[in-house]
Each structure stands twice: as structure tokens, then as C-alpha cells.
Amino acid sequence: MDGNTLAKQVRIGVRKQTALLPEPPGLAVIQVGENPASMVYVNNKRRDCERCGIVSYAHHLDEDAGQAKLLELIRFLNGEPHIHGILVQLPLPKGYGSDAIIQAISPEKDVDAFHALTVGKLYLNSGPAFEPCTPAGVIALLDRYEIDLRGKHCVVVGRSNIVGKPMGTMLLHRNATVTICHGSTVDLPSFTRQADVLISAVGKSGLITADMVKPGAVVVDVGINRIDDKICGDVDFDEVEKVASYITPVPGGVGPMTRAMLMTNTLKAAQKYFMRGK
């Protein structure tokens, strides 16, 4: 499943929609400290914004700026009319409480969809304003390849708040039967082998081998692992490709879709803002 191509199509759609708005959407991206991976992600987001007709505002705080300063910046951005989405690049350096930071973002600008109100609405299936970007990207890919989830056994490996748990919820809402595995799961292969759709979001290269996959299964690899200078997922792609009916590569699968969904959420935030009459 080709995430690059679909992400490009999503960006083109977003660009068409942003052009119809009275003003371009604004996305504030806050980075604290000098985490090299975060710097790459922030740069990618800026480039995506340019392609989509979204104005990105980069805010960079020193690692020792402190929680109070970061909260002050978020409160300021919450009140800024030309900012429609606010994103704090995670992980934050030691000493910052990411939960308090996330809860400080106005739910109307919560384009990462991590705020408790957004999460609650997602779990209740009561029309959340935003869906978390990575699981939303996975669902968009599955939809694109017309993979019907109704009644399918979907096994999600990983139970984080940003990927595994919302992924499981979104699959449930599409009438799949869902199993969520994690670090304390005993005999992981016995679960993965039952999967019609297997989604791995762990961060361990080589975790999912061909013998753990049912022939014909759909395999989605969310994992990102850096080995020397190369990036790979959790799935042994070369071997699992021979068994699976569909599989996502790393890079070029879920990653670009995650980024595209951030653009979609920022567009939605701006559309809602202008619909409210500012």
C-alpha cells in the first residue's frame, strides 16, 4: 500500500479546499529543545504546509525555557485568530509534563487530537472534531485499497495513547473485531496469526516475522526504527510481503499518511473557525 501516492492526493485535495477559505489556515508548531528527530519532523511539517496552502508558524523554545513559558506561549496561540491549529512536537525534554501541556491547547485547535476532550469524543464515537493523525492515516490507506473491515479480526500490536489505543477504537467503530496486544502479551504470535488485518505500532525492528502472519492478511507497519542510517519498520518486509495480501513499506507507508492527516486536521480547524463566523 503506497502511502506516498495517497498522501500526495490528500495534499492536493487540501490545497484545493484551503484556496476556498477567506484566509489561509495557520498551523503553529512548537518545538522545545534540539531533539534531532523532532527537527526533521518539524521541517517536514513546514514543507507539507507550503504544499497545502497552509501558513506554518514555527516556535522554538530553549530546552530550559520551562513549563510556565511553554504554557504561556500556548495560551497566547489559543487566542490568536490567524492560528487554527497548535501542535507541540513530542517528546518534550525532561522536566516538562506533556499531559498538562496537551490539555492547555484549545480543543478547537487540537489538530494532533491528543486533548482529553477530543479523545473522549473519539471513544464515544460522537463526532470528534479531529482524529489522531497516525490511526486516521492507516484507516485512509485501508479505505483507499477498499479493505472492508466489517467483521474482520484486526490485531493491533502496541497500546500507546497516540497510536495503538485510538487505532483499536477506530477499527471498532468500523465494525471490526479488535484485539490489542502489548509488551505484556504472552505468546504474541498466537494472536498475530489470527489477524485478518495486522497493525504493528511498537518500535522494534524484526518484531513481526512471516511465521506470525496468516496467509493473505493485510499488514500495516506503523513502526519507525533507525538502524545505522536506515529507517525500517517493525515488520520483516521482504519475508512478510510473500505471505500478506497487502503490506505497507517503511518508509513510504504510514509515515506520509500521518503527515497528510495533520494537513487535513488543520484544514478542518480553519473551516470550522470560518463557519463559526470567526
**Nearest-CA neighbor of 214 among 153, 138, 266, 166?**
153
The minimum distance between CB 161 and ligand NAD, in angstroms, equals 8
Q: Is position 143 annotated as part of the catalytic site?
A: no
70 contacts: CB under 8 Å, gap ≥ 6 = 30, 32, 61, 88, 96, 101
188 touches ligand NAD by CB under 6 A: yes
Radius of gyration (C-alpha) of the chain in whole angstroms: 19
**Comparison of 53 and 158: residue with beta carbon closer to ligand NAD:** 158
24 scored as a contact of ligand NAD (CB under 6 A): no
What is the contact mask toward ligand NAD in residues 119 to 148, using x (rule: CB under 6 A)? ---------------x--------------
Output the DSSP codes for 61-118: E-TTS-HHHHHHHHHHHHT-TT--EEEEPSSPPTT--HHHHHHHS-GGG-TT--SHHH
Number of residues engaging ligand NAD in binding (CB under 6 A): 24
Q: Is 90 in the site for ligand NAD (CB under 6 A)?
A: no
What strand order describes the sheet that includes 26-32?
A: 55-61, 26-32, 85-88
Comparing CB distances to ligand NAD, the nearer of 108 and 234 is 234
Based on DSSP, count helices (H) and strands (E) in the chain, helices before strands: 10, 10
Binds ligand NAD by CB under 6 A, chosen from 85, 132, 168, 223: 223
194 is known as an active-site residue: no
- The least distance separating ligand NAD from the CB of residue 42, rounded to whole angstroms, comes to 14
Q: Does 103 bind ligand NAD (CB under 6 A)?
A: no
Residue from 88, 20, 18, 41 nearest 264 by CA: 18
Is there a catalytic annotation at residue 89?
yes
Footprint of ligand NAD on residues 145-184 (CB under 6 A)? 157-160, 162-164, 181-183
Residue 254 contacts ligand NAD per CB under 6 A: yes
DSSP symbol at 229: T
> Which residues are within 8 A (CB) of 194 and not within 5 positions of it... i.e. 6 or more apart?
153, 155, 179, 214
Residues contributing to the site for ligand NAD (CB under 6 A): 134, 157-160, 162-164, 181-183, 185, 188, 201-204, 222-225, 254-255, 258
Catalytic positions: 45, 89, 112
